[in-house]
Amino acid sequence: MLRLAPFKSDADHVVALEIDGAIGAQDFTNIVSTINDRLEQHDSLRLYIELKSLGGMAVTDTFDQIRDAIGHWNRFDKLAVVTDIDGVRTATSVLDKLAPKMACQTYRFDARESAQQWVIA
């Protein structure tokens, strides 16, 4: 499941997502629609992802599908990933090197508040 997650109401420039289990095509469609709406209001956005588990999809495939689903990937300047899954943490650090225009940080769930503060700032 991929869905919009609750986030601070005064941070409309942050798209907060939650991933827990398998992700379906309709999940991406819903998210992309929200992102496109927000891009009409903001020059750039930030992405905050809480990733609890992945089902039926490799970590790199998930990031690739998110990137491919979002036609405006270059309009994201920060990505915060909150997860305790070591493979995802590694994939995010690789993504940080592959996407030089976007700062990427990973956090464990016990540092969720720090992740939220970083992605907003």
Tell me if 15 sits within 8 A of 48, measured CB to CB. yes
CA distances from 68 to 45, 49, 101, 112, 115 (A): 16, 16, 17, 26, 24
Which of 54, 52, 60 is closest to 95 using CA atoms? 60
**Domains of the chain, with CATH numbers?**
2-120 (3.30.750)
Provide the residue-wise pLDDT of the chain in tens; the chain has 121 residues: 889 999 988 899 999 999 998 877 777 778 888 888 999 999 999 999 999 988 765 555 566 666 665 666 788 899 999 999 988 888 777 776 767 788 989 999 999 999 999 999 9
Give the pLDDT of residue 87.
Answer: 82
Give the pLDDT of residue 55.
Answer: 77
Handedness of CA 41, 7, 60, 107 (dihedral sign): positive
Specify the DSSP class assigned to residue 121. Answer: -
